[in-house]
Structure 1
Amino acid sequence: MFKVTKDGQILMDVASATPPSQAFIVEALECSPYADCEVDHDSIAAYFQSQAAEQQLLVAKQKNAQLRISVSEDKMQASATLTTAQGGSLISLDQAKKIIVKSGVCRGYKQAFLENILSKQFDAPPGSEHHGVIAQGRPPENGLPAKLISHVLTLKERLKQPKLREDGTVDMRDFGALSSVSPGTLLITQRPATPGKEGFTVTGDSIEPKPGDSFQLVAGEGTEISPSNPLELIATIAGCPSDIQNGMRVDDIFTIADVNVKSGHIEFSGSVIVTHNVEPGMRVKASGDITIMGTVESGEIISEGNIEVRGGVIGHLDHSDNDQSLTCKLIAEGNIDIVHGQYTYLEARNIYIQKQANHCDIKALRTVRIGLEDNPRGKLIGGTVFDAQSITAGEIGSPSGATMSVYLANSGVEITSKTDQCIRDLGETDEQLDNLQKAVEKADQLKDVEKKKVLMAKISATQTHYCQQAEALENKLSELDHTLHELLEGTHLQATSALHSGVEIHIFDKTYTTNRSYPPCTAKLTDGQIEIEFKS
């Protein structure tokens, strides 16, 4: 009844017996060896509509399996679409591999993925489509940044571990013996930054990773880079190790119970620990860190490192100075960390106040945070912030609307002044170069060859000097512009609970005064204006 041609067409002999209906032909095909072939319904329908006498009727076609490969737009994935055979031949594994190669896929190929999709040819319906990933690119793995691995317990870490009493309670004033090191002790090992791991696309393109950030190991006082290993820092004196940026130092430490009239002022080349209080009128000055376990009342604390006060810092208006200054001052080149402050002048790189700052004058190179690090909910009430890059607090100002001033990125004014001076200097340098060029043209007219040669040499040396000066000024201008942009980019004031009325906000050369209380919000400089952004 049926026969197949060389090109895969299934023909039915209709000369000897005319089939009664289309359904008859389809049912006959389903019972024949050609049941999987694609039925040509159009040809069968045309036969019953035609009056012509046909000898043979095209009823079906054999179709081979097909495999199409598609590559994602980012070239990180290649997918295969398999159309199963309809009475035709299957696609072998080798044939499929050639199709993949021809599509441009050359990396990230997994034969198991391909075998899985090809296996559908044996159990899926004829002519059905199946999709699957057959190759996967690999994104680059960025390098790890350089890291410092400490081998000793620093003063700061030691103070986080109070001594345990026999009854199980903790003595917050007793931290045991001071941690000390001897000369030659290994303090820090620097783990170098890693270059990262290269990625690739399925078409074979390499994707370069970003190397990890690196930094130079810094040897502070009392330490040195190991002569045998540039990644190790060792102690050169006996003393207590303290962290510094990208390194460590070793200090002698002075410990005292109270700083009062009996002790006198404390001035020490190293770190100082006061286990109790600093009483009114007393001064503590140190080249290292200063840690005060109790309170500071109307005292002066000055450190070339960090200052930490575990109790309150309390002062008042200095009546002898017509109430123009405060009786309590904390000044650090590093960070200041206190629980709460009142009528105190605070100056440091970063200033952290756990609970509240009440009528304090604050100056920070970078950050002022009132509250705990993970959830700053403290209060900044009254006083003046003379300079900072960022301020974060729960509440800023007071519900009564009392006036207070906050100056952010105030150092940008100085940068602008330096930029203006740099532009003026560059203008003068360009003018000198113009004058020298005129001098060259004039000297070129001299007839005395020797005199002309000497004069040209002098002019050339002067030109070189001014060219170098112009280049240095242009580099300085670029550096100042970058510094100002970086400063303003990170400058903001954030109130996590409320920003009250009466707060005069200065960011760089712009001013904004709040005239009502705002919910949680952030103030920052946008398009040359101070904008208040509210949390959604």
Structure 2
Amino acid sequence: MFKVTKNGQILMDVATAAPPSQAFIVEALECSPYADCEVDHDSIAAFFQSDVVEQQLLVAKQKDAEMRIAISEDKMQASATLITAKGGSLISLDQAKKLIVKSGVCRGYKQAFLEKILAKQFDAAPGAEFSGVIAQGRPPENGLPAKLISHVLTLKERLKQPKMREDGTVDMRDFGALSSVSPGTLLITQRPATPGKEGFTVTGETIEPLPGETFQLVAGEGTEISHTNPLELIATIAGCPSDIQNGMRVDDIFTINDVNVKSGHIDFSGSVIVTHNVEPGMKVKASGDVTIMGTVDSGEIYSDGNIEVRGGVIGHLDHSDNDQSLTSKLVAKGDINIVHGQYTYLEGRNVYIQKQANHCDIKALRQVLVGQEDNPRGKLIGGTIFDAQSVTAGEIGSPSGATMSVYLATSGIEITNKTDQCIRELGETDEQIDNLQKAVEKADQLRDAEKKKMLMAKISATQNHYSQQAEALENKLSELDHTLHELLEGTQLRATNALHSGVELHIFDKTYRTNRSYPPCTAKLLEGKIEIEFKT
């Protein structure tokens, strides 16, 4: 009844016996070896509508399997779409590979993925469509940043490990023997930054990774870079190691029970540990870290490193100064960490207060944090924040509406003043350059060649001087602009529980005063205006 031509057409002999209907032909095809072929319904319909007597009728066509290769826009993935055959030839593995190569895919190809798609030809319905990934690019792996690996226990780490008593309780004032090192001790090894691993697209293009950030190993006092290995830091004196930015220092340590009238003021070149309290009127000054296991009561602590007070810091208004200053003062070039403070002046790089600050004056280069770092719920009541980039606390201000002032990013005003000065100097330099150009034009009119040559050389040297000066000023302007942008970008006041009324907030050169209590919120400088954003 049916036969197939060389070009894959299925013909039906209708000369001897005409089929009764279109349905009859379709059913006959389904019962024949050509059941998978694509039925040509248009040809069959035309046969029954025509008056011309045909000898053979085109009823179906063999259709070979098809495969299309698509590459993603970022060239990181290639996928194949397979349309199974309708009575025609299957796509072989070699044919599929040639299609993939022709499409431009040359890296990241996985034959197992392709074989899985091609296998659908044996169990899927004719003309079914399947898609799948056949090649995958590799994103670059950015390099690891340089890292410091410490080989000794620092004072800060030691103070996190109090001794255990025989009854199982912890003695928070006894931390055992001081951690000390001897000259020649290896303190730190710097693991260099890695360059990363390049990636690639499926079309063979290389994607360069970002190398890890690096930094210079810093040798603090009492240390030196190893003469045999520039990645090692060695102790040069006996003492206690302390962390510094990108390095370590070794300090002598002074330990005392109490700082009082019997001990006198403490002024020590190194680190100081006070195992009990600093009593009223006493001062402690150290070139290293200062750690006080008890309280500070109307005392003054000065440190070129960090200050940590395990108890409270209590002061009051200084009546001898007409209540214009506070009797407790902590000033550090590093960080300050206390449990709670009252009528105390605190100044450091970062100021951390675990529970509460009442009527304290605080100045921080970076941040003021009241509460635990992961969930700050402490209270910041009254007083003044003189300068900081960010302030975070659970409650800021008082429910009673008592006045307090917060000044953030005030260093930005100094940056703008420097920018204005720089612009003025650049204008003066440009004016000098213009005048020199006029001098060149005037000198060019001289008839005396020798005199003209000497004058031109002198003018050229002066022009080079002012051109270099202008370039330096433009670079300085760009740097100041970047510094100001970075400062303001990270400046904010955040209250995780409530921001009360009576808080006068200054960010850079803008002012905002709260006249009611706000729920959890963040205050930032947005488009030249202080905006309050509420937590959602």
Question: Shared fold (TM-score greater than 0.5)?
Answer: yes
* Distance (Å, rounded) in 2 between the aligned partners of 1:12 and 1:464: 94
CA 1:193–1:50 in 2, change beyond 3 Å: closer, same or farther? same
CA 1:504–1:28 in 2, change beyond 3 Å: closer, same or farther? same
* Distance (Å, rounded) in 2 between the aligned partners of 1:353 and 1:244: 21
Matched residue SS, 1:278: coil
Please show how residues 425-440 of structure 1 align to structure 2 within 5 Å.
425-440=425-440
Matched residue SS, 2:42: helix
> Post-superposition shift, 1:439?
4.2
* Distance (Å, rounded) in 1 between the aligned partners of 2:56 and 2:437: 100
> Post-superposition shift, 1:466?
2.9
> Post-superposition shift, 1:434?
3.4
Q: Report the counterpart of residue 510 of structure 1 in structure 2.
A: 510
Say yes or no: does 1:210 pair with 2:210: yes
> Post-superposition shift, 1:50?
2.4
| Mean CA deviation greater in 424-433 or 457-466 | 457-466
Q: Deviations over 1:196-242 (max 9, x none)?
A: 11112212222221211111111101111111111111111111000
Matched residue SS, 1:144: coil
Q: Which amino acid aligns with 1:321?
A: D
| Mean CA deviation greater in 437-446 or 226-235 | 437-446
Matched residue SS, 2:477: helix
* Distance (Å, rounded) in 2 between the aligned partners of 1:341 and 1:394: 16
Matched residue SS, 1:258: coil
> Post-superposition shift, 1:531?
0.5
> Post-superposition shift, 1:497?
0.6
* Distance (Å, rounded) in 2 between the aligned partners of 1:299 and 1:434: 61
| Mean CA deviation greater in 461-470 or 364-373 | 461-470
Matched residue SS, 2:116: helix
Q: Report the counterpart of residue 32 of structure 1 in structure 2.
A: 32
Q: Report the counterpart of residue 309 of structure 1 in structure 2.
A: 309
Q: Deviations over 1:79-110 (max 9, x none)?
A: 11111111111111000001111112111110
> Post-superposition shift, 1:125?
1.4
Q: Report the counterpart of residue 237 of structure 1 in structure 2.
A: 237
Q: Report the counterpart of residue 400 of structure 1 in structure 2.
A: 400
* Distance (Å, rounded) in 2 between the aligned partners of 1:152 and 1:474: 46
Structure 1 unaligned blocks of 5 or more: none
Q: Report the counterpart of residue 334 of structure 1 in structure 2.
A: 334
Q: Report the counterpart of residue 49 of structure 1 in structure 2.
A: 49
Say yes or no: does 1:129 pair with 2:103: no
* Distance (Å, rounded) in 2 between the aligned partners of 1:440 and 1:21: 102
Q: Report the counterpart of residue 364 of structure 1 in structure 2.
A: 364
Q: Report the counterpart of residue 99 of structure 1 in structure 2.
A: 99
Q: Report the counterpart of residue 219 of structure 1 in structure 2.
A: 219
* Distance (Å, rounded) in 1 between the aligned partners of 2:180 and 2:481: 45
TM-score by length of 1: 0.97
| Mean CA deviation greater in 363-372 or 69-78 | 69-78
* Distance (Å, rounded) in 2 between the aligned partners of 1:88 and 1:446: 93
Q: Report the counterpart of residue 60 of structure 1 in structure 2.
A: 60
CA 1:28–1:462 in 2, change beyond 3 Å: closer, same or farther? closer
| Mean CA deviation greater in 438-447 or 343-352 | 438-447
CA 1:13–1:315 in 2, change beyond 3 Å: closer, same or farther? same
* Distance (Å, rounded) in 1 between the aligned partners of 2:96 and 2:459: 76
Matched residue SS, 2:228: coil
Q: How many residues align?
A: 536
* Distance (Å, rounded) in 2 between the aligned partners of 1:378 and 1:253: 33
Matched residue SS, 2:504: strand
> Post-superposition shift, 1:457?
4.5
Q: Which amino acid aligns with 2:30?
A: E
> Post-superposition shift, 1:167?
1.4
Matched residue SS, 2:302: strand
> Post-superposition shift, 1:481?
1.2
> Post-superposition shift, 1:453?
5.1
Q: Which amino acid aligns with 1:246?
A: N
* Distance (Å, rounded) in 1 between the aligned partners of 2:178 and 2:349: 27
> Post-superposition shift, 1:24?
2.2
> Post-superposition shift, 1:444?
4.9
* Distance (Å, rounded) in 2 between the aligned partners of 1:220 and 1:171: 32
Please show how residues 12-411 of structure 1 align to structure 2 within 5 Å.
12-411=12-411
Say yes or no: does 1:478 pair with 2:478: yes
* Distance (Å, rounded) in 2 between the aligned partners of 1:204 and 1:455: 60
Q: Deviations over 1:419-446 (max 9, x none)?
A: 1112222222333333444444455555
> Post-superposition shift, 1:400?
0.5
CA 1:459–1:32 in 2, change beyond 3 Å: closer, same or farther? closer
* Distance (Å, rounded) in 2 between the aligned partners of 1:453 and 1:85: 87
Q: Deviations over 1:60-79 (max 9, x none)?
A: 11111111111222222111
> Post-superposition shift, 1:260?
0.4
* Distance (Å, rounded) in 1 between the aligned partners of 2:468 and 2:314: 54
Structure 2 unaligned blocks of 5 or more: none
Q: Report the counterpart of residue 488 of structure 1 in structure 2.
A: 488
* Distance (Å, rounded) in 1 between the aligned partners of 2:206 and 2:491: 38
Q: Which amino acid aligns with 1:222?
A: G
Q: Which amino acid aligns with 1:434?
A: D
Q: Which amino acid aligns with 1:316?
A: H
* Distance (Å, rounded) in 2 between the aligned partners of 1:455 and 1:114: 78
* Distance (Å, rounded) in 1 between the aligned partners of 2:141 and 2:503: 47
Q: Which amino acid aligns with 1:348?
A: G
Q: Deviations over 1:276-331 (max 9, x none)?
A: 10000000000011001000011110000100100001100000001000001000
CA 1:452–1:55 in 2, change beyond 3 Å: closer, same or farther? closer
